[in-house]
Structure 1
Amino acid sequence: MAKTQFPMMPKAGGGVLGKLVGIVVVLAVLTLVLKQPAEAAAIAKGIAAGLGGAVEGAATFLKGVLG
């Protein structure tokens, strides 16, 4: 029997455009870190704080729904 693929899931590998966008993003982040390390650190701390807040909010929501 053949494997069943989910119609909504993207195929592995991606196209040239996706790879190009990924390379551009990696180069932009690398340039930011090398040229402005203090600003890059501040951005990383902000992202981490935002993710931490989102996790705490989700946990609070689940406690309210399930508890």
Structure 2
Amino acid sequence: MAKNHGIPGLKTSSGVLPKLIGTAIAIALLALVVKYPADAATWAKNLAGMAGDVIDGLVSFFRQIGN
């Protein structure tokens, strides 16, 4: 019997349309990075900052619940 070596929690046997959409998004992101590297870096930095803010907010929330 073959073992499943995929990523846990990720469905790898999806249909053609989701794979096509994922490939189109990956190509668009690659083109964005190649054509506009400064803009892509700014957006990535802003997204990382927002993710940090979300994490800080969640930590603060859980700390207040614990008190």
Q: When the two structures are superposed, what TM-score results if normalisation uses the length of structure 2?
A: 0.80
Does the residue aligned with 1:59 lie in a helix, a strand or coil? helix
The percentage of aligned residue pairs carrying the same residue is 37
Once superposed, what is the RMSD of the aligned Cα atoms? 1.7
Cα distance in 2 between the residues matched to 1:56 and 1:29: 28
Gaps of 5+ in 1: 1-8
Letter in 2 for 1:62: F
Name the TM-score, length of structure 1 as normaliser: 0.80
What amino acid is aligned across from residue 15 of structure 1 in structure 2? G
Q: Structure 2: any 5+ residue segments left out of the alignment?
A: 1-8
Corresponding position of 1:48: 48
2:64 is matched with 64
For 2:31, the equivalent position in structure 1 comes to: 31
CA distance in 2, matches of 1:12, 1:40: 28
